[in-house]
Structure 1
């Protein structure tokens, strides 16, 4: 594996996708922690990096991308390693069950359809947005619940699991356009009409703010009804740093749209992921 390939796999970026996994673990309350650790490894050290690498290879970005301010040239070595990590993830998933392995395969195929030029869902603003929101939110939540509990598949359709799965997607549907806000010029030049590009810089902020508000109140009502009022209020408290950063950044962008840059985006991602990860860890430990 070359240094360029290692950087493009963006292993640290999995931290930003960890909240959905922790949420699934927290509400499913598993007892086999070796299985939980294996699922965590497959998702965050194999599946997500493979998706990152595959996307980077076909994008051939010259500007900043998620987790890499100055990405090196993406080579054929990156393409091969993304497929290797995918294959290892699918094989390791068989240690859980063949159904889980099939789910990992489906996620990998969808992520490839998002990037590969023959399909390139990234060029389709609404379909691309929904694909990321559904598969990194709803689908990943249900995959996590199934893998760490091995409950019958039909039970996943119960509202007990469907509600938090949908809330997970609400978070992703709101946050994903914000991760594209600094890439408008490069996306436009490449012909990728992302939802953020369609919304514009300020429109992306309004869009994300709306979805974040809806998701926050949705989580509050979910925790209040399913667990306790204190849990619902604690979730809102943990979102205060995210809101403060978001509003401060928005005011800067109102004055100068060039402030919608890579570094501000990554800081928002970090603050949001940190607060969610901490909350779900505390929630898991207390329940």
Structure 2
């Protein structure tokens, strides 16, 4: 039996925060295969992401709150083994979707492990880790999903109609990424990890996120205006409004007292933003399908 500690550190519910990238790829896909879509969903959210979470938790050995766990329990070697086993199952399952997808899973898994692996620990390098995390969790995953569920050749992924939403995926995650680190400054400092949020400072992290959101919003407006309908952007604003309101109220509190840059406020922002983006991509997926049928 797998221990409770290992199950908790796999942080399977935390995959919800990366779900928007998958739904985005599905929503703008021309002819997604149903069974391939379901298989990709399972591999990413129940195998690949938990394996990455568990592996990084094993090397981080966090004592304070981490994404999805307010009070992380001590880790054991079992977590390391289970993480690698999940990675292996993901690769085997990926064979049904083609070797391109398998190669993508392998590369993603490798990069994600180097984030916390003690001999490399990309987490120590704020700019590099931010670029890699944003790219692989964003554009790379979008392209992996899009290629697999539509059974496309690699050259099809160079089309601007595919590249632009992939880049928007990275922009969306890149803008919010430092916010996931804003409550971990003390823990990261103890280990000597200079994350992007530590580099920016607490107030700088909030300013960075606000500017990034505005730029990303412009990107989404351009994308829908160019390839679909500008009205889709209205749904974007409506779906993200709860998260935006929370962010603004939270920012005012943090400006008065930095102690409010805490775990629970961060997780609330993550849930509101991820829920809004998931809902948005589901809505536009339905609208695109209706208009295309």
Once the two structures are overlaid, the 10-residue window that deviates more, 277-286 or 183-192, is 277-286
- Contact kept? 2:161, 2:227, Cα under 8 Å: no
Match of 1:275 in 2: 276
2:55 is equivalent to residue 54 of structure 1:
yes
Please give the secondary structure, in 2, of the residue aligned with 1:95.
Answer: helix
Q: Residue 31 of structure 1: CA displacement?
A: 3.9
Is the contact between residue 125 and residue 193 of structure 1 (CA under 8 Å) also seen in structure 2? yes
| 3-state SS in 1 of match to 2:96 | coil
Name the residue aligned to 1:17: 18
Partner of 1:164: 165
CA deviation map 1:3-56 (0-9, x unaligned): 000000000000000000000001114342111000000000000000000010
Q: TM-score, normalised by structure 1?
A: 0.99
> 1:175: which partner in 2?
176
Greater shift, 158-167 or 24-33, is seen at: 24-33
Normalised to the residue count of structure 2, the TM-score between the two structures is 0.97
What is residue 187 of structure 1 aligned with on the other side?
A: 188
Counterparts of 1:223 and 1:27 in 2: how far apart (Å)?
A: 11
Aligned-pair Cα RMSD in Å = 0.8
Structure 1 residue 96: deviation in Å? 0.7
Query: Is the CA contact 1:29–1:284 (under 8 Å) kept in the aligned structure 2?
Result: no
Q: SS at the partner of 1:24?
A: helix
| Structure 1 residue 86, shift from structure 2 partner | 0.4
Give 3-state SS (helix, strand or coil) of 1:111's partner: helix
- 1:101-116 matches, within 5 Å, as 101-116=102-117
3-state SS, counterpart of residue 115 of structure 2: helix
Matches of 2:248 and 2:286 in 1, distance apart? 31
In structure 2, runs of 5+ residues without a counterpart are 289-293
> Secondary structure of the residue that 2:75 maps to in structure 1?
coil
Q: How many residues were matched structurally?
A: 287
Secondary structure, aligned partner of 2:97:
coil
Q: For residues 9 and 221 of structure 2, what CA distance do their matches in structure 1 show? A: 36
Could you list the runs of 5+ residues in structure 1 that have no partner in the other structure?
Answer: none
Q: Deviations over 1:157-210 (max 9, x none)?
A: 111111111010001111010000000011011011000000000000000111
Alpha-carbon offset, residue 256 of structure 1: 0.7
Task: Answer yes or no: is the 8 Å Cα contact 2:26–2:32 preserved in 1.
Answer: no
Partner of 1:145: 146
